[in-house]
Each structure stands twice: as C-alpha cells, then as structure tokens.
Amino acid sequence: MHTTITAALAGNPNSGKTTLFNNLTGSRQHVGNYPGITVEQKEGCRLHHGQGIRFIDLPGTYSLSAYSVEELVARDFIVNEKPDVVINVVDASNLERNLYLSTQFLELGLPLVLALNMMDVAERRGMLIDCAKLESLLGVPVVPIVARSGRGRDELLNALLRVAAENTPPQPLHIGYGADLEEALRDIQPLLAGCDTLHHLYPERWLGVKLLENDSQIIEKVRACSPEDAEKMLLRCEEVALHLQRTLEVYPEAIIADHRYGYIKSLLRQGVVSSSQVVDRLYTSDRIDRVVTHRFLGPVIMALVLFGLYTFTFTFSASMVGWLEQFFILLNRGIDQAMADGPLKSMLMSGVVDGMGGVLGFVPIIMFMFFGIAVLEDSGYLARVAFMMDRIFHFFGLHGSSVMPLIISGGIAGGCAVPGVMATRTLRSPKERMATLLTVPFMNCGAKLPVLTLLIAAFFSSHQAWYMFLATVAAWVVALCAAKLLRLTVLRGESTPFVMELPPYRFPTVKGLLIHTWERTWQYIKKAGTVILGISILLWALMTYPGLPEQRTAAYESQRQQVESQQAGNVDALAATLLEIDAAQATEQLRHSFAGRIGTALEGISRFAGIDWRTNIALVGGFAAKEVIISTLGTAYSLGEVNPEQAGSLSQRLAADPKWNPVSALAVLVFIMFYAPCFVTVICIAKEAGSWKWAFFSMAFNTVFAFILAVLIYQIGSLLYLH
C-alpha cells in the first residue's frame, strides 16, 4: 500500500475526538474552513509502518440527521469524499449514548474502526468493557484507547491499516423499526432503486429511513433525482407519520431513535459491559457538579473563574506587551533615520508600523486569553457555563442551545461572531434562532478584545481585570435584554425545552492546550498580516490624500522661516516652536484628507458621546473589521507625531491627548462593544436569516443603541465630574 490513506475522525462532542486528532498528528496539521461555510476543517498527517495517513477531524455531532450544519458537514464529507476508514471516537464511560452515532455509521455500511476512548474514566467508574465481545457483535474493530495519554494509539493505527487494506466495507447494518415503518420501507425501497445518482452514494434502506425522518437534504436530493417517484414516497411517509400520530402520538423520528437505542441496549446486555463492583457512589464529575452548577454557588464560581481568567491574562502578558511596544517604537525610529522624508516613509511609519504595531502588540494578551479559554473548554467547564446560563435564558425568551453560539461569539471573550451566527443553525425554533442570531454580535469577540484592552490600559490601568470582567458581564446583559425585546415584539413565541449532556471533567493535556492556543493565535496574526494590513494601508492613503492646498503649505513654510529668523539665537525655543508648527500642519492635513472630512462631518453628532473626529475615522474603519480600529487610531494619532524620539505607545498617546479622559474613553469603549457588526458578520447574518433586511436591521439597531448608551455615559459622567 503506497498511496496515502484518508481517515475521518467522527464522534460526539466531548468524546475526546480532537484530543485524539492532536495526539495522532501533533504539529503536522493545518486548519481551514469547509468550502462555502465557516465550520472549521482540521487536517493532519502521520506515518505508521511506512504508510502515510491523512486525518480529517470532522465536527462533533450526535447523529447524521440534517438538524445542524455540523451534522451535514460530517455526513457530506463521509458520503461524498469516501474516506478509506472512519474512526468513530466513542466515550467508553457513556457508551449507550455514544453508540447511537455508531449505529448510523454501520447502517451506511462504512469501513469503520471504533476507538473506545476514556477507558481510564470507565475503569474508575467500575465499568468493565469486553472490547472483543463488542467487536464480534458489531463486526468492526473495537480498540480501547486513552487519547489524552496516548494509550492504545499504535493498536488503533494498526486496526486502521487493516481495515483500509481489506477494501471491502461491511454490509450495512439492518435494524428493525417496527411493523408500520418496515411496511413503509418495503414500499419506498423499490422506488429508490430507480434513483441512479443516489444509489451509488447511499444504501437504499438508509435513504428510506431518512425520508421517514423527514431529512430535508435527502428529500431535496430524491426530488432532484426522480420528482414523480419522490412525491409518491413522500406521500407514503406522510401516511405512516399520520398513522403513528393517531395510534401512538409519536413521529417516525422518535420510533427510529427508540429502536436504535433498543438495538444498543441489546448489545450491551450481552456481556459487553459489567461492573467490577457495586457502584453506589457519585462519580467525581457529579460530586464537582453539585457545587459548580449549584443554583446559587454556581454563578458565583463562574464569576470568579472569569475574573481569574482576566487576571491571569493581564498579569502574565503585561511584560511581553511592553517589549512589543518598545520593539515597534524602535522600528519606527530606525525607519525615520534610514529613509528620507516622503510618502513611502510616511506609509511605512504610520500605515504599517503604527497601524500593524497597534494590532500585533496585543498578541501576548490574545495568546494568554486563548490559553485560558482552552483550559476551560478542554476541562469540560464551558459546558457547565452553558448549563447554568440555560436557567435564566428562558426568562429572556431564548433556548438553552443559544448559550453556545453566544459563547462562541465571545461570551467568555476571544470568539468570533461569524461561527457564532453559523452555530445558530442548531436551534430548531425559527424565532429563537433569529433572536440568537441578532444578539450574537453584542459579544466581545476576539476582534474587539485588543480595542477594549487598549482603552482599559490607557485609562483604567490599575483595574484592568475588573474592567474586562465588567465588559463581559455588560455584553451578556445587553444581549439578553435585546433578545427579550425582540421576543416581546417582532419575534413573539414560546421558548422550547432544552436538554444537554454534561461531559465528565478532565485534566487538559499540555500538548492539546498549546495546539489550541497556537491555532487561534495564528489565525489572529494571519488576519493582522493580511486583511488588517491592507485596510490599514488603504486608510493611511485616505488619511494622507489629497493633501493640503499649495497656499496652506506655503503659509506654514513662511511661518517656519519667520520663526527661524526671529528665534535663531535660542535653539531650544526654536525647536519647540517648529515642532508645534509641524504638528499643526499634520493635524490640518489629516482634517483635509478624505478620511478627515468624513470624521469631521460626523463630529457634529459624535461629540455628544465625547467622540472626536480622529476616533470617528477609526470607527468607520471598524465597519470593515473591528481590529482595524486600533490600526486606524495608531495611524491617525501618529500622523501628527513629528518627533519619533518622543513617540510612545498608542495607549500613552491617547492618555496624553487633552480630548481624551476616562469618561470619554468609557463612552467610546461601550460604543465599540455594541455598534454594528463587522462586514463579514453582516453578510453571514443576511445569509443565515435568508434576507438582507435582518442584516440591515442589525447594523442600524446596534449602532443607534450603542450611540445612545455612549451619549448617556458621556453626558452623565461629565455632569458628575468623573473625569
């Protein structure tokens, strides 16, 4: 066997699938997106016994039904790409629930290897699993592993090579679904045999089951293949669904799920699972949950955890941020000394170094933040956050599943609104989904983090962790209140029930934490080095051209000559006066530029919130991407900086500017948190909502709401003399 084997890793969320992927591939992996969607695609490779293996880490999913984008991605990849082997990662300590997905793989007749993960957890719970017995009953290799430590990895790879070498996938599993559904399947299958385009992709019986489950994607495929037969099949499915409603008050999907679980129970009762002792105790995870998810203690612990995350981030990143700031200051000085004055020098210093330096200077903060979030995620605590938040979500008219899109978008800071918007697909209720989709942009995504950090460091440096914690709380409060408003007005309707599985607590592996931290940090750096760099240079051009009229330039030159003749004997006074003239000229030139004209025009309104014309330029740039706010502020405030020897970091420049104070900084901070989402998120909202009107509504509503808040903060703060 010489060609590279493709192996897809599939399994339930929290089954340890990504941990296994990291263990198998190490640093030999890369991250992208599946074509046309924002679901993350991870690929990695390794050699085993001289054979190259390409691993694909599929999104975590509980089933292969078309209920969410993750389920569709996993199913489409397996069916269309036809990997040589599917490694189904199963949580051994929760075998019955995890085998539900396995039965669906078996019904598809896939070349399958069952990786029985977390055997150590199962053993601690007193569970004895006979892997050989399970293997003989299922007809596919079953390998016990502990992904976290690497136990069983070689045995798993050996089984993978054996299955790939056989080249004969197993016969599709046949599960009986009761007299009513079996009769319907017998009527449907002959009609499906005529669908040649689907016949080579899916087993006929599996297609029939999906039609009975009312799977929208399969229904579309069958209609496209044979419209006339499709209507007959769908009519037959509707008949059996109505019959089950009348007789049993259930839908076919429930009957199918019951029979699959019945099949799994029959497997496990044939000596597959036994206990080494009578387990009459709470598992460790359950004991911890009694405290961590307690009705009153749980929220307090959650608040302490979040505050601890921010304290850890700012404490350990402070020195590294300072080093980077000094590096960019020295780089600017080097460019100033090495190059003659001109547009290229200005672009490099103001557009690239000051613009990009402002963004890249926050890489240490982002890195430590992502590391802390990875600890919470890999340990299983984030799932508890979702569980606890569900208790209050119903009051605000949202579903418990809305928690994860909000967290993904930056509910614990550092996420992104785009995958958060995409994650709303998991919500079944259209109104709950729309309310979640519209409130997702209120979270503090990774793009907002550097901006918030900049302003907090400049004006509230003695309480950075507190202000970041309060910013997170404010984002949640505003998002929930906005959701309540939407659910009481344009999106009225009852909340649907929420059921969630809590994974066991685990000690995160150092390797896994480092990989997760590096992946997310590298994505931030790449974005800074591509999109943000391009926008920074574009905005520098808009802030530089068309330049001052000749008569104004001549007037400043005449003023310099006059000062030089009057103060020729006083070197220090002459230098100071010339610097003032240069700064005045740079400021007037910025005002006269295309961007300056826009910022000045908006100042008539923005001044009520304490936002000046330079900041307006940055906020307009933020419509493209929130990270651009920092690079634009860096450029706007460096264009008036004429002495590189006295140049400081952007936070120092803002703190020294007379137009800025803690009150105006707080108003700007709140406005940035809540005004219109970035352009990519707006497009994503339009796509997911199926209409641009919701995207425009999000932009207008968020911006007006943010401006009202900023005005209130600035006006009340100014009246109370808080600055």
d(CA 182, CA 179): 5
pLDDT at position 524: 66
pLDDT at position 674: 92
Burial (CB < 10 A; 0-12, 13-18, 19+), residue 561, is exposed
665-720 pLDDT per residue, tens: 999 999 999 999 887 788 778 877 878 899 899 999 999 999 999 999 999 998 88
Tell whether the torsion through CA atoms of 642, 647, 650 and 656 is positive or negative: negative
| 2 — pLDDT class (breaks 50, 70, 90) | low
d(CA 504, CA 14): 9
User: Which range has the worst mean pLDDT, 283-287, 305-309, 319-323?
Assistant: 283-287
* Domain end residue (candidates: 120, 139, 166): 166
Pick the closest to residue 596 from 612, 609, 584, 608 (CA basis).
612
Count of CA atoms in the C-beta half-sphere (13 A) of 491 = 23
d(CA 186, CA 335): 78
In a domain, 48, yes or no: yes
Q: Which residue has the tokens 């029930």?
A: 497
d(CA 114, CA 137): 12
d(CA 205, CA 187): 11
pLDDT at position 84: 93
User: Which range has the worst mean pLDDT, 58-62, 390-394, 481-485, 606-610?
Assistant: 390-394
Q: Contact at 8 Å (CB) between 373 and 414?
A: yes
pLDDT at position 503: 63
Which range has highest mean pLDDT (447-451, 513-517, 669-673)? 669-673
145 and 21 in a common domain = yes
Which range has highest mean pLDDT (401-410, 491-500, 564-573)? 401-410
> To the nearest whole number, what is the mean pLDDT of the chain?
81
**Which three-class secondary structure state does DSSP give residue 291?**
helix
Phi, psi at residue 139, to the nearest 5°? 80, 20
156 and 66 in a common domain = yes
User: Which range has the worst mean pLDDT, 23-27, 176-180, 575-579?
Assistant: 575-579
CA–chain centroid gap for 313, Å, is 19
Q: Contact at 8 Å (CB) between 29 and 44?
A: yes
pLDDT at position 105: 93
128 and 202 in a common domain = no
Instruction: Indicate whether 337 pLDDT > 60.
Output: yes
In a domain, 241, yes or no: yes
Average pLDDT over residues 53-68: 83
pLDDT at position 33: 45
In a domain, 322, yes or no: no
* Domain end residue (candidates: 219, 246, 275): 275
| 542 — pLDDT class (breaks 50, 70, 90) | confident
Q: Which residues of 111-148 are buried (b: 16+ CB within 10 A; e: fewer)?
A: bbbbbbbbbbbbbebebebebebbbebbebbbbbbbbb
20 and 143 in a common domain = yes
| 547 — pLDDT class (breaks 50, 70, 90) | confident
User: Which range has the worst mean pLDDT, 149-163, 233-247, 518-532?
Assistant: 518-532
pLDDT at position 68: 64
Structurally, the chain folds into a number of domains equal to 3
Question: Beta strand 5-11 with 51-57: parallel, antiparallel or unpaired?
Answer: parallel
Q: Whole-angstrom distance between the N-terminal and C-terminal Cα of the chain?
A: 73
Bridge partners of 56, per DSSP, are 8, 43
DSSP state of 440: G
d(CA 573, CA 646): 17
Average pLDDT over residues 586-603: 82
Average pLDDT over residues 314-333: 80
Q: Contact at 8 Å (CB) between 335 and 352?
A: no
pLDDT at position 29: 61
Average pLDDT over residues 83-91: 95
262-279 pLDDT per residue, tens: 888 878 878 888 875 544
pLDDT at position 62: 84
Average pLDDT over residues 578-586: 71
254 and 143 in a common domain = no
11 and 55 in a common domain = yes
Q: Which CATH number goes with the domain that contains 137?
A: 3.40.50.300
- Domain residues for 58? 5-166
Average pLDDT over residues 345-371: 73
pLDDT at position 36: 44
